[in-house]
Amino acid sequence: MKTVQNNTSEETTVTIIGAGVSGLTLATFLQKAGIACIILERRDRAYIETRQRAGVVDARAVRMFEQWDLADKLLAGPVANTIDYRLNGDSRIFNIPEEDGISSRFCTQQMLVGNLMRELIDNMAGDVRFDVSEVVIHNEDGVRPKVIYSDASGSHELVCDYIAGCDADRGISRTSIPDGVLTKYTHEFGYAWLAALVEAPVTGHPIMAVSDHGCVAQLPRGPHRSRYYLQCSLSDNAEDWPDDRIWNEIRLRLNDETIQNAVVHDKFLVPLRSVVYAPMQYLNLFLVGDAAHLVPPTSAKGMNLALYDVDILSQAILKAMRDKDESSLKNYSETVLPHIWNYQDFAVSMTDMMHDAGDLTQKGTFHQQIARARLNNLFNSKTAAHLHSEYQRGTN
């Protein structure tokens, strides 16, 4: 049977491209504030609800959700305030300081995204259009922007006031900005992490470990699972890492022969890199989250930076709509970028320290000793203990 093609044109206030953690959070806030918005997402709902990534919502983001009266509904997990740092098997528990009495929470990105979907779509009748394709942005000076997209029923046009580009690094929002407007700042660390999702819960504290054989981390991903990260070569691929090799390396790097093999659900390589695009806006288009910046997973901050952007952008849109004052929108990029750079600094320091302290092949023995001295400072000095909270506080 031939499908009838139905071409439409509609108006809304904010078109959001991408129903990841930033797009869904932004839409939920706008919907709660009575500002019309539509999300366009190229995947289906089931795919997005099962995509496994981050595991901790930091204290700043917890406070943001509390301010919107959404923390209890969206963030299910217990507080996350310790990390077990290990150097060749010697373990120290690091207490992550609270921020104004608020702690980070264990809440997987998958859980947060699922809860956001239920709140936005099922409870607030939010408009999320899945399975769209051929999304094209028209954002010319002096004209209300338009977003054209296709779905199974035909080609459609959304005329809006603002566009939020929440479609991550490979989306179309950033690439719709004319050449020469954005500057790309990037740093390649020169190694990768093998990310393996396993059927073995974190039994003590989340672990970040340095050993002479390279770095390993174990982070919680729900009550029965954890994500292991193993430093590896940029030229490796997942086939180089059969399950037995993964478990042998985990035992070796954690100095713990008692660890048992368990089911490995998925494994893939993440090349470690830091990227920032600036400015994070062009006319009526605003870039949010991974569309504008990437941090290496060592820092566990990518999702939290995306939520920071949403916090600033949602307040700026509210001000523009309620008070007819676009000054905060005009300053969006200038407001957000110092915080992003602050976290890039944190991510680079953490990543260098954790890798240089173990791996001699990158920078040699001198830098290994420097990195180990830094790690000891982190364990022993009160000032260093405040490092985490200072970064967390950022440029509030």
Decide: 237 and 259 in contact? Cβ < 8 Å: no
Copy the structure tokens of residue 35.
């500002």
Copy the structure tokens of residue 62.
């917890």
Q: What is the per-residue binding string for ligand RFL in 85-124, x denoting contact by CB under 6 A?
A: ------------------------x---------------
Among 16, 107, 135, 350, which residue interacts with ligand RFL (rule: CB under 6 A)? 135
Among 80, 83, 172, 216, which residue interacts with ligand RFL (rule: CB under 6 A)? 172
Q: Which is nearer to ligand RFL, 38 or 48 (CB)?
A: 48
Q: Which is nearer to ligand RFL, 104 or 368 (CB)?
A: 104
How many helical (H) and strand (E) elements, i.e. helices and strands, does the chain have? 11, 21
Position 17 contacts ligand RFL (CB under 6 A)? yes
Q: Which is nearer to ligand RFL, 306 or 321 (CB)?
A: 306
Instruction: Give me the least distance between CB of 302 and ligand RFL, in Å please.
Output: 2
Decide: 144 and 159 in contact? Cβ < 8 Å: yes
Q: What is the 3-state secondary structure (H, E, C) of 362-386?
A: HHHHHHHHHHHHHHHHHHHCHHHHH
Instruction: Give me the least distance between CB of 55 and ligand RFL, in Å please.
Output: 5
**∠ CA 66-107-218 to the nearest 5 degrees?**
140
Position of minimal CB gap to ligand RFL? 20
- Of 17-25, 78-86, 240-248, 334-342: span binding ligand RFL (CB under 6 A): 17-25
Return d(Cα 217, Cα 108) in angstroms, integer: 16
Decide: 348 and 276 in contact? Cβ < 8 Å: no
Q: Could you give the angle at which helices 360-380 and 382-393 cross, rounded to 10 degrees?
A: 100
Position 77 contacts ligand RFL (CB under 6 A)? no
Please confirm whether the linkage preceding 297 is cis (ω < 30° from 0). no
Position 21 contacts ligand RFL (CB under 6 A)? yes
DSSP state of 142: T
Position 222 contacts ligand RFL (CB under 6 A)? no
- Of 16-24, 68-76, 86-94, 243-251: span binding ligand RFL (CB under 6 A): 16-24
Instruction: Give me the least distance between CB of 351 and ligand RFL, in Å please.
Output: 13
End-to-end CA distance of the chain, in Å? Answer: 57
Among 30, 35, 37, 54, which residue interacts with ligand RFL (rule: CB under 6 A)? 54
Position 339 contacts ligand RFL (CB under 6 A)? no
DSSP state of 19: -
Q: Which is nearer to ligand RFL, 150 or 255 (CB)?
A: 150
Q: Which is nearer to ligand RFL, 267 or 368 (CB)?
A: 267
What one-character-per-residue DSSP string does 210-269 give?
Answer: EETTEEEEEEE-SSS-EEEEEEE-TT--GGG--HHHHHHHHHHHHT-TTPPP--EEEEEE
Q: What is the sign, positive or negative, of the torsion defined by CA atoms of 239, 242, 247, 248? A: negative
Instruction: Give me the least distance between CB of 356 and ligand RFL, in Å please.
Output: 21
Position 18 contacts ligand RFL (CB under 6 A)? yes
Return d(Cα 294, Cα 276) in angstroms, integer: 7
Copy the structure tokens of residue 291.
């569309």
Q: Considering only residues 266-305, where is the footprint of ligand RFL by CB under 6 A? A: 270, 289-291, 297, 300-304
Position 254 contacts ligand RFL (CB under 6 A)? no
Decide: 109 and 290 in contact? Cβ < 8 Å: no
Return d(Cα 14, Cα 298) in angstroms, integer: 33
Please confirm whether the linkage preceding 145 is cis (ω < 30° from 0). no
- Of 140-148, 168-176, 232-240, 378-386: span binding ligand RFL (CB under 6 A): 168-176
Instruction: Give me the least distance between CB of 175 and ligand RFL, in Å please.
Output: 9
Report the interface residues with ligand RFL, using CB under 6 A: 17-23, 40-43, 48, 53-55, 109, 135, 166-168, 171-172, 195, 270, 289-291, 297, 300-304, 306
